[in-house]
Structure 1
């Protein structure tokens, strides 16, 4: 992907001082690309109503709504109308040396969708890519040399499933020998129009430690004044200011940029407001939402369970890799690959496999269950559909399809699923399926994949262990390297002891997987792995119980902690990356809390081995991991307002991380110290945390604890009833601890013992005030002490769902 700061370099490059070269627009001389027969011109959407049909086609000389092409208040007679992810492919005509044109979002776009990248590829190599363009950005004029290429592709890559943006290629022409092509591009704003934008990574992200670059584009050179206001919900002080931006001519536009200092901003969500003024007149205003995410550490990621279902957008591989995700689950759509028997097309899949390789992600390939061509099972085709859910009528057709896919992508796919969620068809005998027919198809698939590459892992679709047993009875034998399960638990959190389709008995996620492991060990392939290739919670309806975005992010971290702690799962793929109903990003391509939670989780757990589950009285939970020379202790509660007491044999300096990865130093003393917990996971990182004793605090009277010459209320350390150790430790029930500081001025004032010394009489607030929602205790001592304390500010302290961390003392640690 194009680096975020590339625009700053391009704006200053002298090579762009010359306007784009194009063939003269005279009768008989112009060679419009839209007049050239294409090899393919399709808009791809896995979530098309026909579930895998590539439709509609790209429109020639019209926008995607079949209306005139219009960009920058001008109607264009020639070009292509697209949306979402689309690919136009052409043979390069004889004598052509390049291609030139205009790329942008059609003026007809009313509802802004996710930003769209435009790119040009030739013979498998990307020659040019635009910035991410929305309806608020100026279009881009480009000229790209083809240098003897045989085939060229024009690709639009949107950043959201519900992308409402109409992506247009306008005025696109071939350049022949009479006008040698020079590589260049520039913004092309309409006269009198001003544009201001922020340069971000795909899906509206910055990575922690980066500054924010704003850029301005208009038609005429000169100076302008930009006022900016960047605010967030993370406790980071707002970044406000005013700057003068010099606009220099670059191609068809005058452009300039300014770097807003955000390198010290914390992980979280932000809004940037920009206003552009010339003289006493405001010429442009814009508000942009974005997230700051913890980038993945530079540690070896081999062997992690971190995966995601990812079906469309090539541009999203970059933030996936940055978030520390190792696995991408990819659906191979038979209808797109072989729309007619013996006619093979690879466009969409080739682009994704190349992007996965470039980003270093591994791929799980799903061969069936998503868009089989109608011709493969003509007796089970829904009305007006190009696809079918039916069992292939001739297994020889299926075998040839599998052979073609496995041969083309040999070495690029590490694991294969023969079919997606087949039990819903095979068990009730729908659309020509039966358990026996699926087993036959799977065993054929297994043999072909192993013949082509013996290292291929071939997974049998299960969903329930009972279905695996039925497959074994139908002759599955040992033809499987792993079992695919989708352990959704709608309406229940990860810790709930609810019924499940795997082991059948009520269990939380960790115990469920351990029971599944024990079950598989007694079957013909005791070495078979567990691959949980879908799990998630819905944020919108469709008859699913829904959760809030906050709960969604909390459940992700807790699910992965419990699963990794089980120690017996090969892979866990979150569903989905950017499908609005489940996604890490929303339907318009903006990151959700789950995205930032995932990145923080992988930063702590990549390379970490599970040690044990920490037995703390419910609803408090803990998991202990070891990574290198440090331990990682994850703590959370199923509900807010809970406290956990920590005590160690000796004092030690730890680092405390919140759910988004923001950190601060944290001293654990021999006397003990407590944390306020909620659904948001917090991580403690440091040496020998296996010695730490954990206990859910009892509702006892506080005792004074001296710090900085003052006595602060500190909860007495009860006799430990819960220790990091095996499950099943006996415990006694305790009431929830509720002595947490309130909000506002009350929260900002420590509870001080009378006299400030070794006082025994304590001034205590009324019980009604002490039962306030958890909030982070702030010290009035000043900014020097805030790096630690602000872990609970902003969104973390605004609601009961926040991961507020209540410290019993303030300021720097007493040593």
Structure 2
């Protein structure tokens, strides 16, 4: 996989230039919600999987009664991922009714789930049980999914976490202690904030010292308009919060991102009037946005991206019939982009909504470019010694075989879709 080092300088409102390389290989992961979905997944089909929200994997399912643990469904998911050589991260949390400090509060995962435990030792015991069981079979443990941080954002519902930020910092410390003791090679991911208010919530968490207990800053880059500009804005604010709190050198992982896709299910409709859930995209349009977002992430030094979700019925990358394992255009594009990036390094790169040009290097030689928005013709490509042209749908054509009716601008959907030019 590519090895990218980042040195960014602003070219303009719509693009960035990357000159040089940044630490970390591009990593494209997925969420798989159902054990049955693994039947259609080949070994190393992508780089890793995040286990979050799957039935039987949250705290309230694993320990329904104090001291009585049920890992049966979690075992199956971890084993299935391991058999396919997929790196695993797991998101902790969702308090059982018996342990909850507010057992009758209705959170996203049920009564009492969003509240912190009334006794933090119960949290430590649960985390220690999980980490001791899976040790390094799980590569990283994420502390919490999308906490609201009520000191910063007015909470309209308990969501996934309704406690104080000070309590969240303590829970993060206790995760670090359990991981260092039982799985020292595994990483701790800070609670993953999300969306437009996420940087402010992250800033508050880090200001209370939470960042020193994490190896990785997790963030969910859900975008209001699926634009590179939106992505860059969020990433810039995340980095500013990290720098302000003295942890600017820690890696950033996008542990959950995606968009609503019509071809993921039946009657997929907008859920909110504005924001990431306000628009339903066709799968080809979603593929275009996804590819640009991933390249913007690599260019910005984000070490990992996890797409949500391979087998969802609204934000996934498979067809509505999950039993077939057949990919829609978004799923094919995600697989194709990972193939393009394999075995290369990222060279000079501009990423914008309307224009993009990223060189892929093999050693000191430019192997290929990922481009969009360029008005290339067969003649100009041949003059530039481009031998092949590949599209996000996985197809590849020899440039010499293109005809006047089959030019790059036609193949690339009016220049909007990223395509690969191979030298």
Query: What's the TM-score once normalised by structure 1's chain length?
Result: 0.41
Match of 1:556 in 2: 290
Alignment match of 2:209 (pick from 463, 475, 478) = 475
Cα distance in 2 for residues equivalent to 1:481 and 1:326: 19
1:718-767 deviation per Cα after TM superposition (whole angstroms, max 9, x unaligned): xxxxxxxxxxxxxxxxxxxxxxxxxxxxxxxxxxxxxxxxxxxxxxxxxx
Q: CA offset at residue 303 of structure 1?
A: 3.5
Alignment match of 1:381 (pick from 104, 119, 134) = 104
Q: CA offset at residue 681 of structure 1?
A: 1.9
Alignment match of 1:602 (pick from 338, 349, 357) = 338
Structure 2 CA distance for partners of 1:587 and 1:341, relative to 1, 3 Å: farther
Q: Write 1 or 2 for the structure with the bigger share of strand.
A: 1
Alignment match of 2:389 (pick from 647, 650, 656) = 656
For structure 2, list consecutive stretches of 5 or more residues without a partner in the other structure.
1-23, 262-267, 402-406
Q: CA offset at residue 388 of structure 1?
A: 2.2
1:485 aligned to 2:215? no
Q: CA offset at residue 658 of structure 1?
A: 1.0
Match of 2:51 in 1: 330
Cα distance in 2 for residues equivalent to 1:488 and 1:432: 21
Alignment match of 1:643 (pick from 337, 361, 375) = 375
Contact 2:114 2:162 in 1 (8 A): no
Structure 2 CA distance for partners of 1:329 and 1:342, relative to 1, 3 Å: same
SS in 2 for 1:329: strand
SS in 1 for 2:285: helix
Match of 1:524 in 2: 246
SS in 1 for 2:280: coil
Match of 1:176 in 2: none
Cα distance in 1 for residues equivalent to 2:113 and 2:42: 32
Q: CA RMSD of the aligned region, Å?
A: 3.0
Contact 2:149 2:165 in 1 (8 A): no
Structure 2 CA distance for partners of 1:516 and 1:627, relative to 1, 3 Å: farther
Q: CA offset at residue 615 of structure 1?
A: 7.8
Match of 1:542 in 2: 271
Structure 2 CA distance for partners of 1:321 and 1:424, relative to 1, 3 Å: farther
Cα distance in 2 for residues equivalent to 1:575 and 1:546: 15
1:570 aligned to 2:303? yes
Structure 2 CA distance for partners of 1:392 and 1:660, relative to 1, 3 Å: same
Q: CA offset at residue 314 of structure 1?
A: 4.3
Alignment match of 2:118 (pick from 387, 393, 405) = 393
Cα distance in 2 for residues equivalent to 1:593 and 1:620: 21
Contact 1:551 1:679 in 2 (8 A): no
Cα distance in 2 for residues equivalent to 1:387 and 1:572: 31
Cα distance in 2 for residues equivalent to 1:681 and 1:656: 11
SS in 2 for 1:633: strand
Q: How do residues 656-735 of structure 1 correspond to structure 2 at under 5 angstroms?
A: 656-667=389-400, 675-676=408-409, 677-686=414-423
Cα distance in 2 for residues equivalent to 1:433 and 1:597: 39
Q: CA offset at residue 310 of structure 1?
A: 1.9
Cα distance in 2 for residues equivalent to 1:578 and 1:375: 32
Q: Write 1 or 2 for the structure with the bigger share of helix.
A: 2
Query: What's the TM-score once normalised by structure 2's chain length?
Result: 0.76
Q: CA offset at residue 510 of structure 1?
A: 4.8
Number of residue pairs matched by the alignment: 360
Q: CA offset at residue 494 of structure 1?
A: 2.9
Q: CA offset at residue 604 of structure 1?
A: 0.7
1:459 aligned to 2:192? no
Q: How do residues 499-518 of structure 1 correspond to structure 2 at under 5 angstroms?
A: 509-510=231-232, 512-513=234-235, 516-517=238-239
Q: CA offset at residue 420 of structure 1?
A: 0.4
SS in 2 for 1:446: helix
Q: CA offset at residue 311 of structure 1?
A: 2.4
1:348 aligned to 2:73? yes
Structure 2 CA distance for partners of 1:437 and 1:471, relative to 1, 3 Å: same
Cα distance in 2 for residues equivalent to 1:391 and 1:402: 14
Contact 1:307 1:574 in 2 (8 A): yes
Structure 2 CA distance for partners of 1:320 and 1:576, relative to 1, 3 Å: farther
Structure 2 CA distance for partners of 1:322 and 1:405, relative to 1, 3 Å: closer
Q: CA offset at residue 519 of structure 1?
A: 5.1
Which has the higher relative contact order, 1 or 2, with Cα contacts under 8 A spaced 6 or more apart?
Answer: 2
1:621 aligned to 2:356? yes
Cα distance in 2 for residues equivalent to 1:389 and 1:615: 38
Match of 1:48 in 2: none
Cα distance in 2 for residues equivalent to 1:445 and 1:621: 41
Structure 2 CA distance for partners of 1:355 and 1:606, relative to 1, 3 Å: same
Match of 2:6 in 1: none
Q: CA offset at residue 467 of structure 1?
A: 2.0
SS in 2 for 1:577: coil
SS in 2 for 1:379: coil
Instruction: Report the structure number with the largest CA radius of gyration.
Output: 1
Structure 2 CA distance for partners of 1:425 and 1:466, relative to 1, 3 Å: closer
Structure 2 CA distance for partners of 1:317 and 1:633, relative to 1, 3 Å: farther
Cα distance in 2 for residues equivalent to 1:426 and 1:358: 43
Q: CA offset at residue 481 of structure 1?
A: 1.2
For structure 1, list consecutive stretches of 5 or more residues without a partner in the other structure.
1-301, 499-508, 669-673, 687-815
Q: CA offset at residue 416 of structure 1?
A: 1.3
Q: CA offset at residue 608 of structure 1?
A: 2.1
Q: CA offset at residue 578 of structure 1?
A: 0.9
Cα distance in 2 for residues equivalent to 1:649 and 1:682: 16
Q: CA offset at residue 341 of structure 1?
A: 0.7
Contact 1:656 1:666 in 2 (8 A): yes
1:450 aligned to 2:173? no
Match of 1:278 in 2: none
Cα distance in 2 for residues equivalent to 1:678 and 1:650: 19
